[in-house]
Structure 1
Amino acid sequence: MVESILKKILLHTFSIASVTWVFFQLTFWLILLIPVSLGKLLFHSANKFWSRVVSFIYHGAVFCNTIWMKHVIGVKINIEGKFKKHPSPIVISNHQSWVDIPIIHHAITDRGPIIKFLVKRQLVWVPIIGWLCLILGFPRLHRGKGHGAREKDYATIRKFSEKSNKESGAILIFPEGTRFSEAKQKAQSSPYRHLLNPRIGGLRILKEAGDPDTPIIDLTLIYLGGNSNFWECLHGATSVIEVKISVYRLGDIEDLSEWLSERWKEKESLISLRQQPVISSKER
């Protein structure tokens, strides 16, 4: 009994240490990025130089996160598949947990460009994380239900897509729009056991505005053992995470809705095959 309690205390302490590490590391990189962002505002002619500095800092942050995940927490990340280097690919993935972010960074940014996310506008008010999103120029969406909010979001994505054709940087989209949970799955009446229904909204705008030769890097994230709970993953509850990489050419996709549906069917089959037991019902 006492041994069990002590073990739980130790595991929670490890998770607290992991969160503390992430907080201080993000703060450190934020401090480095502030003068760089000011330099970009004041000296537009040197934007290429500042972009290289941002990329260097970003890759440094990803490297440190990967070291912590693999060598401190002890997560083994198995990556299956490759992609050719491209300055501005589109990345899509299923979304299980906040842990997805460092895993995707390891799979993509370790081998290629920095990643930019579609984020809610309200996120910029969150200390550290929101400020990083603002400085790094992440496209900010309203995510409202009204027609006006959707039109503004589409305009933001279109503008970002046109800009990304000129600048280096991958754009990451989670077509499910939120992290998986059994409660959300039931609320959506999702036909998938391990996934939510995908939506084509942002991806459709990127297809309309993007270069046909742009690659879509499709990632399938699989938490072996089924536990993708963020807090528990921070103390090593899931020791192996698999990443399956598939690559498609944007211009080869005719019916985006049908294509995305096929991808999700493939993901469901792959996750069902590799993942036992079923994902925890806890909110991620």
Structure 2
Amino acid sequence: MHVFIGIFSSLFYFINTVFWVTPILIMSILKIIPIKPWRTFLSYFLDGCATAWISINKLNQNLFSRTHFNVSGVDGLTHKDWYLIIANHASWVDILVLQRVFNRKIPFLKFFLKKELIWVPFLGLAWWALDFPFMRRYSKAFIAKHPQLKGKDLEATRKACEKFRFKPVSIMNFVEGTRFTPQKNAAQNTSLECLLNPKAGGMAYVLSAMGDKLHKLLDITIHYPHGIPSYWDFVCGRVPQINVHVAVFSIEELVNSGVFGMDYFDNPEQREIFQVWLSQLWKQKDQELKKLAMSQK
């Protein structure tokens, strides 16, 4: 029975995606016209298409998956604010969860993408049309060989974020950099049990590029009481419950308290302060996940 549910649900996802990607691709071609008011209008229209796509995905989940979502901390969120969002990352299902929980509550979620992904057929154009920021990161070794490029990646990130200064946005960052597995956790030799070590660099890039515009940081804890599911588990209706908790921080307060400074990349002391703060946040999240896991036994 679960297999048939998964097949029908996946087919529903596919049809819904094709239906909404078609106008997005058509409008993306029109968005090439370099007239700012026109591009702004199309940005709102395209975000509306993406929002409708998520809304129908939610209907799909209600029909087939029937997962109970236990969500807390979303009161007071609004479309009018600029958000930076971080979350633990254990499954591809996380993205569907985040889209569902925040759909029509905050601006449409944007993910930073590697610059090379803009050349992916069809999807690259769709991501560009939806204002997903493309960024280039240079390694320390590369900068050592090409010192003239120091700061160019941050400058490019700021340029990519310029469009967000006039339109509220939610920028998503998985600070662990990859999905959690016990093997990856063991390889890191970390004190964390349910998480991987967080990486501050991605957050720092966004805050350095948009810190004067972003209003709030949302720290999301996603917990799967019955074990980390695969996408197939989810569409087959094998995930009875998902817990999502949202903790809200004022970015202005983080800056004013000295947790983050705009000179992050040039000030080692500032980097250490921010990295320690993020590590402490992740330790608290790990403790919360351990308590939730123990309560299920």
**TM-score interval for Structure 1 and Structure 2 normalised by the shorter chain:** 0.7 to 0.9
- Distance in 2 (CA, whole Å) between partners of 1:144 and 1:213 is 24
Number of the residue aligned with 1:132? 126
Between stretches 251-260 and 220-229, larger displacement belongs to 251-260
Q: Deviations over 1:145-189 (max 9, x none)?
A: 553599665344333344322222210000001111112112222
Identical-pair percentage: 27
Q: For residue 221 of structure 1, what is the aligned residue in structure 2? A: 222
2:159 and 2:293 map into 1 onto residues whose CA distance is 39
Name the count of aligned residue pairs: 269
Is this contact kept in 2: 1:89–1:214, CA < 8 A? yes
Aligned residue among 269, 272, 283 for 2:290? 272
User: If the length of structure 1 is used for normalisation, what is the TM-score?
Assistant: 0.83
Change (3 A) 1:144 1:235: farther
List gaps (5 residues or longer) in structure 2: 144-148, 260-272
- Distance in 2 between the 1:151 and 1:257 partners? 20
Q: Deviation at 1:126?
A: 4.8
Contact 1:124 1:134 in 2 (8 A): yes
1:212·1:250 contact (CA, 8 Å) conserved in 2? no
The CA deviation at 1:128 is: 5.5
Once the two structures are superposed, what CA deviation does each residue of 1:111-146 show, in whole Å capped at 9, x if it has no partner? 121111012345445555544323313123456655
Q: Deviations over 1:240-265 (max 9, x none)?
A: 11110111111222132122112211
Gaps of 5+ in 1: 1-9, 279-284
TM-align CA RMSD = 2.6
- How far does residue 276 in structure 1 lie from its aligned partner after superposition? 5.6
- 1:15 equivalent to 2:35? Answer no
- Corresponding letter in the other structure for 1:45: P
1:79-134 alpha-carbon deviations (Å, 9 max, x no partner): 11124324421111111111111211122233121111012345445555544323
1 CA distance for matches of 2:136 and 2:4? 37
> For the structure 1 residues 251 and 123, does the alpha-carbon distance in structure 2 shift closer, same or farther, using more than 3 Å as the test?
same
Question: Does 2:224 align with 1:249?
Answer: no
CA offset at residue 69 of structure 1?
1.9
- Give the direction of change, closer, same or farther, for the CA distance of 1:235–1:181 in structure 2 (3 Å limit): same
Q: Per the alignment, in what secondary structure is the counterpart of residue 248 of structure 2?
A: strand
